[in-house]
Structure 1
Amino acid sequence: MDELRVLLQENLNTEFLSAVLSNPRIKDGTEKVKVRPLLKKGTLFFQVETFRNRQAFHENLTAPQACEALARQMENMKQMQLETQKNHYTVLVSKKGKVTVKKKAQTGKIRPAELSHDRKKHYILEEGTAVPFLVDLGVMTKEGKIVHARYDKFRQINRFLEFIEDILPRLERGRELTILDFGCGKSYLTFAMYYYLHELKGYDIRIIGLDLKREVIIHCNELAEKYGYQKLKFLVGDIADYTGVDRVDMVVTLHACDTATDFALAKAVGWNAKVILSVPCCQHELNRQIQSDVLAPVLKYGLIRERMAALVTDALRAEYLEREGYDVQILEFIDMEHTPKNILIRAVQNGKCGENQESIKKCEEFLHVSPTLKRLLDHKGEV
């Protein structure tokens, strides 16, 4: 960890903007750590925000204290994103403790660090900087203030971007990255992705949004042209039949209904996508299949059966992705348009295939289910 300590010592100063430590090896402890600079009575501190058991704990530390605290935290973390006014650093720590540091000069729009002690919760898209698509969406005023009645939408967009922030180490720099958004709909999260990755982070990205609603696609293309987003395109098409690209780095599927999510996930695996973000909905398929003599007293209640089938559907989707060589997390996603809380499946490629096949098979047999995603993956895209 000596190299990491040197990096922290050199950058915990007035040019420091932020750091995020994530992807813990031990899942029952600290989940994430965020760091920001803080000016208190003329002295520079670093506020360390530790997320544990759905709670956030704060410490204001001096530079030497913060250096030691973060070095200790990284003993259990696989990655860290550190940003200064001049550079962006990606720190990766192997199982054996080997530290790899990747340095990239800042190319996006960098805002000054917020040093105030009494401030609102930090968001990736901060109030005070007008974002064109948020203004058109009615979430922001032209002056960059959040419209009170649209604050939930503002929180949702930022929450989605936090999921992307965590996986930035898996996205290569130095070449064009292709991102596919299946079932993009009105595309406010698609625009948010483009703005965050290209405008703020300086990635060379091409995003393709796909949806069946022609009028919506026309409108989204008009907005992309209006904002000058040259590599953001929207197409009319079906998830199952799309063959417009050969290589995809990230696949996003938000609210693809029922088995449309399975087709999107199977496409992502077939393209060898490094990252998959999926918010499923309307999981009806297993509700028709699930049977169990042991669970019969529970499954006879329609509402309970429906909810259990939905949870089993998404849990098995996660297992199939793990079988195909992905690290998978099921996360809580705030979604104000559909239900108060939703599930997001985040999968990041690790290359370790086939380690949980037997346990999946036992679960399928116990519940008498054969999900579409299983059949698609087993038969290379054919149901």
Structure 2
Amino acid sequence: MTAPNSDPETFAGHLENAVQAGTLISAVLSRPKNRQESARKITVSPLKIRGELLYQFAHRYDREETHENVTAEAVSERLQELIGTRYRDCHLMTTTADYQLRLNKKGHAKLSQSPPSHTSSLVTDHNRRKQHLIPDGEPCDFLAAIGVMTAEGRVKANRQRKFRQINRYLELVEHIIPSLPKDGPLNVVDFGCGKSYLTFALHHLLTKIHGRVVSIVGLDRKTAVLADCQRIASRLGLRGLRFEEGDIAAFDTNEPVHLAVSLHACDTATDDAIAQAVRWNANVILAVPCCQHELARKITPDWLAGMQQHGILQERLATLLTDSLRAKALEAVGYRTQVVEFIDMEHTAKNVLIRAVRREPTSENQQEAFREYQQLKQTAGLDEIYLDSVLDWASLSLD
């Protein structure tokens, strides 16, 4: 330890005791002294492999994550070599207490203690894999084609997060399968599909897992990206999947749309996708909004001023308000809505998915939802927003 006071030594004692007693849940090292040479964060957690207790060091860099397993005998010494010398912050979680050690640039340390976040051990048995809809260890053609998995079925180390994201997405889609037509082809439009990792995953879920005939259109404005996606689809022989260049607001189809998807469409593009899906009377709408800038500059009430003095808080306030209005608007036009976590916040701040399922219209319920929508706007000091301009409220006789 390099800090000049006893805090690091006391922290090291807590660490050693936790390892010896088997009460260590995790340790997180952050704020590296040299970002060029060190991972930006290291997370240490216990796991069992074939009955042996080990500690996994997950080194998180900007674009990849590496893993290293260390024996219980070596974990304390290994951590103490890193704390203070290479990392300024360490958060230690045990079943009896949480400890936070922070060192400033001059090497002065501050140690704080708080009640435990968890009171039971969270040791992971590495040999008991989570049951994913697409399992690790089983070859999957589209995952190999997009570089997430090897041809033998092993998920690549630097693609673990993408693998988890894909499976989380499929879990959320799985919940709405009963709300789609049970017979005939399923028509899907994926707005802003980008590299189409999740579009390919959706095709896999519907065709390979559920055995449905599909017509899926991936829509985006990036010609080169779409060409790559089409090459992969053609090479793998993925029937019923095609990619088209175009804008969300301009795209239309003569076929009924059963599922409309909009993942990470920027700012009001999500509203365009929602409005288009509503016009199609889509059975299900899935939207993961992104970059909600519109309302950040429109929120005016004095009582909210304290939440807008800092950019990050203003951004989050606008995000919460925007997504709340979208969910309530969808209820007003005849959908049952849920706002659920897409993937853990550790992976991305864009972690909210709005899931809307069309239900039998009930005028009273829709009018009540519309009143709540208008009240929420009024409370935030909002007049007309972009969503109002693309949803035809007058045709619904709600206003």
Q: TM-score, normalised by structure 1?
A: 0.66
Displacement of 1:354 in angstroms is 2.9
Question: In the aligned structure 1, how far is the partner of 2:164 from the partner of 2:280?
Answer: 31
SS in 1 for 2:303: coil
Output the amino acid matched with 2:215.
Answer: R
CA contact (8 A) 2:203 2:216 kept: yes
Question: In the aligned structure 1, how far is the partner of 2:139 from the partner of 2:131?
Answer: 16
Name the residue aligned to 1:377: 391
Name the residue aligned to 2:198: 189
- Segments of 5+ residues of structure 1 without an aligned counterpart are 1-116
Output the amino acid matched with 1:222.
Answer: R
Question: In the aligned structure 2, how far is the partner of 1:194 from the partner of 1:278?
Answer: 17
Name the residue aligned to 2:332: 323
- Segments of 5+ residues of structure 2 without an aligned counterpart are 1-125
Q: Could you tell me which of 203, 206, 211 is aligned with 2:212?
A: 203
Output the amino acid matched with 2:369.
Answer: N
For residues 295-314 of structure 1, the aligned pairs below 5 Å read 295-314=304-323
Displacement of 1:340 in angstroms is 4.6
Name the residue aligned to 2:144: 135
SS in 1 for 2:130: coil
Name the residue aligned to 1:164: 173
Name the residue aligned to 2:131: 122
Q: Could you tell me which of 367, 372, 376 is aligned with 2:380?
A: 367
Question: In the aligned structure 2, how far is the partner of 1:340 from the partner of 1:287?
Answer: 17
Question: In the aligned structure 2, how far is the partner of 1:335 from the partner of 1:271?
Answer: 32
Output the amino acid matched with 2:327.
Answer: A
Displacement of 1:316 in angstroms is 0.5
Output the amino acid matched with 1:271.
Answer: W
Larger Rg: 2
SS in 2 for 1:152: helix
SS in 1 for 2:243: strand
Displacement of 1:337 in angstroms is 11
For residues 17-36 of structure 1, the aligned pairs below 5 Å read none
For residues 1-383 of structure 1, the aligned pairs below 5 Å read 119-334=128-343, 339-340=348-349, 342-352=351-361, 353-369=366-382, 370-378=384-392
Q: 1:311 to 1:336 in 2, by over 3 A?
A: closer
Deviation by residue 1:161-198 (Cα, 9 ceiling, x = unmatched):
00011111111232111000000000010000001111
Q: 1:177 to 1:255 in 2, by over 3 A?
A: same
Displacement of 1:373 in angstroms is 1.6
CA contact (8 A) 2:181 2:258 kept: no
Q: 1:119 to 1:339 in 2, by over 3 A?
A: closer
Q: 1:291 to 1:178 in 2, by over 3 A?
A: same
Q: 1:185 to 1:335 in 2, by over 3 A?
A: farther
Question: In the aligned structure 1, how far is the partner of 2:345 from the partner of 2:351?
Answer: 9
Q: 1:326 to 1:258 in 2, by over 3 A?
A: same
Q: 1:164 to 1:154 in 2, by over 3 A?
A: same
CA contact (8 A) 1:246 1:271 kept: no
SS in 1 for 2:142: helix
Displacement of 1:148 in angstroms is 2.0
Q: 1:336 to 1:291 in 2, by over 3 A?
A: closer
Deviation by residue 1:114-162 (Cα, 9 ceiling, x = unmatched):
xxx9621110001232111211222211111111221111110000000
Q: TM-score, normalised by structure 2?
A: 0.63
Question: In the aligned structure 1, how far is the partner of 2:307 from the partner of 2:160?
Answer: 39
Q: 1:340 to 1:326 in 2, by over 3 A?
A: same
Deviation by residue 1:326-345 (Cα, 9 ceiling, x = unmatched):
11111111279982551111
Output the amino acid matched with 2:292.
Answer: Q
CA contact (8 A) 1:173 1:203 kept: no
Percentage of identical aligned residues: 47
Question: In the aligned structure 2, how far is the partner of 1:357 from the partner of 1:254?
Answer: 25
SS in 2 for 1:141: coil
Question: In the aligned structure 2, how far is the partner of 1:166 from the partner of 1:137?
Answer: 25
Question: In the aligned structure 2, how far is the partner of 1:358 from the partner of 1:335?
Answer: 33
SS in 2 for 1:266: helix
Question: In the aligned structure 2, how far is the partner of 1:375 from the partner of 1:268?
Answer: 15
SS in 2 for 1:339: coil
Displacement of 1:379 in angstroms is 5.4
Q: 1:258 to 1:124 in 2, by over 3 A?
A: same
Question: In the aligned structure 2, how far is the partner of 1:363 from the partner of 1:340?
Answer: 24
Question: In the aligned structure 2, how far is the partner of 1:222 from the partner of 1:143?
Answer: 22
Corresponding residue pairs, total: 266
Displacement of 1:366 in angstroms is 1.8
Displacement of 1:295 in angstroms is 1.5
